[in-house]
Amino acid sequence: MTYLALARKWRPRTFEDVVGQPHIVRALANALATGRVHHAFLFAGTRGVGKTTVARILARCLNCEQGVSATPCGTCKACMAIEEGRFVDLIEVDAASRTGIDDIRELLDNVQYTPGAGRYKVYLVDEVHMLSKPAFNALLKTLEEPPPHVKFLFATTDPQKLPVTVLSRCLQFNLKRLSVAQIAGRMERICAAEGLPADGGALVRLARAAAGSMRDGLSLLDQALAFGNGRLAEADVIEMLGSVDRSRVLALLQALCGGDGSTLLARIREVDELVPDYGGLLDDIAATLQQIAVMQVAGMGPVDEEETDTAALQALAGGMDPEVTQLHYQIAILGRRDLGLAPEPRLGFEMTLLRMLAFHPAQMPGAMPATGAPRPAGSAGRPRPAVAAVAPATAVTTPGVVLEDAGDWPAFVQSLPLEGAARQLAMHTGFLGRTPFELRLGIDRTGSHLLTDQLKGRLSTAISERLGAAVTLRFETRETAADTPAARSGLAQEEAVQRARRAIEADPNVRALGDELGAELVPASIRPVGRGAGNDQ
C-alpha cells in the first residue's frame, strides 16, 4: 500500500484544525457567517505555515453543498472532490512554473464562464509573486471587477514583490511562524493518533529544527520515524539532526563563565567527536544566552514552562554579568555569520568560543588580564582570581588594541582606515571613556559641523572593525576636547616650525645676509612640508 506522508495525511480539513493562526480563522469565519466575502484574498507567510491549506479550506467553505459557512460538512460531493484535488471549479496554479502573460491570459479566458459543479469558481495561485510584470498587468482588470461567481486566492512567501496595484485589490492576511510548543503539540497529537511511541524531548528537538514551519516539522517527523524504525527517541533525533545534547551546550557555557580555558577546550573536543552541525551549535549557544539574558532582566524566574534546565540556567545567569551575556551573544551570532569563512567549521567554532573567553571586560570574575600582560606561570587553563577593582573609565582594552589612557587615543585614530571628512571628524575627537558596548567621545566646537549621520556611521564602522566588536559612539560637544589628534598634530607642527626657525637663524649664510644687506626672516614663510609634523623646511 502506498504510504502517505504525515504532512499530507494530517493536513487540516477545517478551520478548527488550523494551528497557530487564530487571527486568520476568526476573520474568515466572520466573513463567511455574515456573507461579506471579498473577491480576492492574499495569504502571506513563510513556508509551511498553512497558506494553501487555509485557501483550500476557504474553497470548501464557499462550495459546500450544505451552504456557505465556516464549517463545511466534509462529506458532500464538493467537499470530497476538493479534498481529493479533483474539483473542476477549484483551479490551482503554480506561479513559479507558469509566470508568463500567455499563462494568465489562458487562465482568464475561462473566468467569464459560470461554475460547472460548484457555487463559485475559485482560482488558487500559489507563489503569486513569481508572476511577470506583464502577467500582473493582464490580471489587474479582472482582479478589480471580477464576475460575481469568481474568487481569487493568492499565496506568497514574499508579498513585497507584488505590485501595489495588486495588493490594493486584495484582502491581505499574514500567517505567523509557528512556535516550538505549537509544532511539538501537533506532532504529539499525530503520534498518539497513529499509535507511535514518542519521546517528548525528541518532539521538541524536531519542532526547533522545523524553524516555525509545520510542514517541515512533519517532514522531519517522518524522517525521524524512518531513522528510528518506527520509534521516536531523543538520542536518535540528535544523531539524525547532527545536533548536540542540551547538557553539552550548558557545559560549554559553564566553562566560559568560569574562565576555564582547558576545560572549555576539552568540552569542544568532546563535542567534535559527535560530528555536529557547528552552525546549529552556535545557534543553540546564542539561544541559551538569550534565555540567560531574559532571566537576568526578569529576576531569575523560569523563561519557559517547558524548560527542563531552569536550575542550570539560573546558575549561569547568577554567575555571569549581564554585560558579558550580551557580549557573548554578540560574538556567537557574528561567529555564526562568519563560520563559512573559517578554514574548517570546527576551527571557526573554536575561535568563536575562545574569543568569548578572551574578551571579558576587566571587571568580570575570572577575566583575562586587561593590559595584555603575560599570565603567571601555571595559570593557563585555571580560573583566574577576580579583579578587585573596575578598570578606569579612560581605559580601552580590546584584542590586539590596548589604550591604557586617553593619551593613546590620537595614535589609535591614526591607525584607522579613514579618509576625507570621516578622518577629519575622528581628528577632532577626544577619548572620554567607555563601557563594553559604548565609546564616549568629546568633540571640539570647531569640528561639530562634521557630526552627520553618514560620517558618524563611517567612524563607528572603522572603530568597530579595529576593535573586533560592535560599539556605539556617543559624542559630547565641548569648547575644546582634550588631547584630540588634531590638537596633538597642531602642537607637533608648531614645534617643527620653531625648530626650523632656530636652524635657519643659526645658518651662517642667513646671518651674513642680515648683517650685510639688512635682510629679515619672515616667520610666516616657515612651515613643515608633507603630512608628517617633523619635516622641517
Domains and CATH numbers, the chain: 6-174 (3.40.50.300), 180-241 (1.10.8.60), 246-358 (1.20.272.10), 396-483 (3.30.300.150), 495-525 (no CATH)
Which residue ranges of the chain lie beneath pLDDT 70?
1, 243, 300-308, 360-407, 436, 480-483, 489-503, 505, 510, 513, 518-519, 521, 523-537
The pLDDT value recorded for residue 112 is: 86
Q: What is the pLDDT of residue 372?
A: 38
The b/e string for 174-204 (b: 16+ C-beta within 10 A; e otherwise) is ebbbbebebbbbbbeebbeeeebebbebbbb
Run of H or E residues at 92: strand 90-94
Q: Tell me, what amino acid is at 390?
A: V
Tens digits of residue pLDDT in 253-302: 998 888 888 899 999 998 888 778 899 889 989 999 999 999 888 875 55
Contact 51, 175 (CB under 8 A): yes
Q: Helix, strand or coil for residue 483?
A: coil
**SS3 labels along 377-398:** CCCCCCCCCCCCCCCCCCCEEE
Q: Which ranges of 41-158 does DSSP label H, i.e. alpha helix?
A: 51-63, 77-84, 101-108, 133-144
DSSP reduced 3-state for 258:
coil
Give the pLDDT of residue 393. Answer: 36
- What is the distance between the alpha carbons of residues 165 and 157, in angstroms, rounded to a whole number? 18
The pLDDT value recorded for residue 301 is 57
> Do residues 41 and 171 make contact, with C-beta atoms less than 8 angstroms apart?
yes
Global pTM reads 0.59
Which pLDDT belongs to residue 400?
A: 40
Residue 63 is predicted with a pLDDT of 92
CB 440 within 8 A of CB 432: yes
